[in-house]
Amino acid sequence: MSALLDEQRGLLEQLVNPQRVRRAGRTFWCGQWAGQEVVLVLSKVGKVAAATTTTVLIEAFDVKRVVFTGVAGGVGAGVKVGDVVVAEAFIQHDLNSAPLFPRYEIPLYGRATLDCDPALSAALLAATHLGLAGVGDHFHRSLLLEAPVVHRGLIASGDQFVCDPSAAALMRADLQAAGHEPLAVEMEGAAVAQVCHDYGVPFAAMRTISDRADAQAHLDFSAFVTQVASPYALAVLGQFIKHQ
Ligand code: SAH
């Protein structure tokens, strides 16, 4: 599952015998990649849209595993533009049913964070290292970025594009006060994690850091997606699929 069309384009070119299926206003591409049956789809943006996409993937296409690649804002210390975060768990930073439930807790789930599948995430982490090593340094150099660092940890999702440093700092401080240390912020992952949790389908996710969730966040977003995040997603998933 990809968040943006540009990120999906390179993946689509890898599909052997691609079949286009329309469901719920979404286009699903079924085919083979490195001998594996795969379905490629855009999540659409935001938690509800991503939850619908995931539900259709599982119910209509019977997928056995879900892997997400996309971009995110870096909010953790030392998480810089061009780095990659492989998710260990997700939380919804905009979920607050207090005083009925503790802040961030998903009502009736008894928990705030949902873990990614450890084995699938370990495979995605290994593929991320191999993929980034394979693409070399011309992608990050094209935007004058330092060599990417791969992080592992918590990603926070919410229905906001965070592009204000004080909003990002407040979000992080509030999460920290509740015992959570987010590395990145985006708009879909926690929803995909929740649907996969409900169905018992293993889920893993990687996000390339496109911005620092500050006032510069919208600048050069599409250049970054085209020049860095998309080749990274392709390289990482190419390694991932080879080792499945
Ligand atoms: N310009 C795009 C929309 C981008 S929405 C279009 O026209 O289609 C932003 C996407 O990047 C979402 O998928 C979200 O998950 C991710 N993202 C990147 N940086 C983010 C930030 N600072 N805050 C929230 N989401 C972010």
Residue 9 is predicted with a pLDDT of: 93
What's the 99 CA to ligand 1 centre distance in angstroms?
30
Mutational test site, ligand 1, from 69, 160, 186, max ligand atoms within 8 Å of CB: 186
pLDDT for residue 140 is more than 90:
no
Mutational test site, ligand 1, from 75, 162, 187, max ligand atoms within 8 Å of CB: 187
Q: Among residues of the chain, what percentage have pLDDT more than 90?
A: 88
Residue whose C-alpha is closest to residue 84's, from 67, 100, 102, 69:
69
Region 205-212: mean pLDDT is 95
Residues lining ligand 1, Cβ inside 6 A: 3-4, 45, 70-73, 161-163, 185-188, 210-211, 213, 217
Residue 142 is predicted with a pLDDT of: 81
pLDDT for residue 36 is more than 80:
yes
Domain ranges of the chain: 66-242
What's the 210 CA to ligand 1 centre distance in angstroms?
9
pLDDT tens digits along 38-76: 999 999 999 999 999 999 999 999 999 999 999 999 999
Give the catalytic positions in this structure.
Answer: 7, 211
Region 203-215: mean pLDDT is 94
Tokens of 97: 């049913």
pLDDT for residue 219 is more than 90:
no
> How does residue 137 score in pLDDT terms, banded at 50, 70 and 90?
confident
Q: Reply yes or no: is the peptide bond before residue 99 cis, omega within 30 of 0.
A: yes
Residue 217 is predicted with a pLDDT of: 76
Residue 23 CB neighbours (<10 A): 15
Indicate which residue's Cα is closest to atom 25 of ligand 1.
186
Question: What residues does 204 pair with on adjacent strands?
Answer: 67
For the domain spanning 66-242, the CATH number is 3.40.50.1580
Question: What residues does 79 pair with on adjacent strands?
Answer: none
C-alpha span between 200 and 228 (Å, rounded): 32
What's the 20 CA to ligand 1 centre distance in angstroms?
25
Residue 241 is predicted with a pLDDT of: 97
pLDDT tens digits along 85-125: 999 999 999 999 999 999 999 999 999 999 999 999 999 99
C-alpha span between 50 and 124 (Å, rounded): 20
Residue 156 is predicted with a pLDDT of: 98
